[in-house]
Amino acid sequence: MDLTALTIGEAAAAMRRGEFSAAAYADALLARAAALAALNAFIHHDPEQVRTAARAADERRAAGASLGALHGVPLALKDNLDTAGMPTTAGTPALRDNRPLRNAPLVQRLLDAGAIVFGKASLHELAYGITNHNAAFGAVRNPYDPARIPGGSSGGVGAAVGARMVAGGIGTDTGGSVRIPAALCGIVGFRPSTGRWPQAGIVPISHSRDTAGPMARSVADCTLLDRVVTGSADAPAVSLRGLRLGVPRGHFWEHLDSEVAASMESVLRTLREAGAVLVEADIPDAPRLDAEAGFAIGLYETIGDLDAYLAQHGSAMRYPGLVAQVASPDVKSLLSSLLGDDAVPEAAYRHALDVLRPRLQAAYDDYFRRHDVAAMVFPTTPLPAAPIGHDETVLLNGEAVPTFATFIRNCSPASVAGIPGISVPAATTRAGLPLGLELDAPRHADASLLAIARAVEAVLPALPAPRC
């Protein structure tokens, strides 16, 4: 049996039944991670810590203790989630020696359910980017083509899960940072409604936009991780027959890479053949409101939120000192600008938070209600994974376009509105690069969205494992 091919649910159930030990499972994953160390998925990875935790899991089972839903399952945690006993660097030099005294609440819930921390996964520095080309800790490589990006900022988790080093992990998403690497690494990534998952103990960008979220190789596993963290019940299974899904052609389906466009039209045909009712309708104001509100909120909140995190951890450092040590040029330029004339004025922030974001949320509410659609579907990213090093611009159908703005284009509006979104593997390019399909649903319809995604996943072809 190839233990590295098991899902979270399969592995946990088999270990609870005693079909193999947590130590054997950990050894299989550790061997896989060692063989693929060149992907650079982890900032902190201590195999002996993993083995010790796995042996403890086996001892609990032997003693007849109650075993949790994640018994013996190692997970990759993005290195901006606080973990006691190991570093939380957020991928930036100033926090290399940051050793939190306690676990983030969501991490503790996972551990209480029997999970094991496999390692702290790399990220775009301070989670401020989508390539995971980190000048301090090195570029993370895509398991389907190591010359290409895994997406970001949760690219280390995406690469580790996509490469079968672990069955799942936890990333964070402010503008697409769970869904983008999920799409580019051929896995599932779920962004919960803002506030559904606890935000304490996470190195922040923006308290109004940030959320952690699960990344795994199946929707069922993302549902399991969501249930462990939130304590919520699963929604009933959904049939695609008669299910109304919105197709917002304006913005979300425009200016796509030619292979992405062709593959996603094929996905729509598959959904239609499965009985789904596709409703072509747009959200006219979403792109404009996203552009006007999103950055004003995120950039304004960054300084105060990072200072608060540092203070809570007993550090005398504050934002200027943190930024002075940033190694990645793209991140340093952006974050330094917030200290000068380009800083977002408070009046602009208040307008974005109190006027523009509510308008965007109302536009989404109206869209789902007026068109009677359970979710909307579109390509997660307009193009497949770009070559490493294309940090400023990337080619889209032969035209140079901004890398960051292009990759987040379809994910960002939902992030600002705070609605749930999920990316599921949908197809591959001729070169074998994964493509993701995103589904977004109304605010707080998380359980329903997960059920819909599971039904969609069932009719789409399974992606091949990476050849790495």
Is 153 known to be catalytic? yes
425: which 2 tokens?
């593997």
Is 193 known to be catalytic? no
Strands 188-191 and 421-428: antiparallel
Question: Please, what's the b/e burial string for 350-376 (b: 16 or more CB within 10 A of its CB; e: otherwise)?
Answer: eebbeebbeebbebbeebbeebebbbb
Catalytic residue among 78, 206, 263, 328: 78
Q: How many other C-beta atoms lie within 10 A of the C-beta of residue 199?
A: 17
Amino acid 312 reads Q
Catalytic residue among 120, 122, 153, 415: 153
> If you write DSSP's letter for every residue of 153-201 in order, what string do you get?
SSHHHHHHHHTTSSSEEEEEESSSTTHHHHHHHTSEEEEPPTTSS--TT
Q: Give Cα 427 distance to the centre of its chain.
A: 19
Catalytic residue among 154, 177, 193, 415: 177
Distance (Å, whole) CA 41 – CA 280: 39
Confirm if 102 and 83 have CB atoms less than 8 A apart. Answer: no
Is 177 known to be catalytic? yes
Distance (Å, whole) CA 131 – CA 220: 27
Which residue is associated with the tokens 């995971």? 132
Nearest Cα to Cα of residue 323 among 306, 345, 308, 309: 306
Tell whether omega for the bond before 153 is within 30 degrees of 0, i.e. cis.
Answer: yes
Active-site amino acid positions:
78, 153, 177
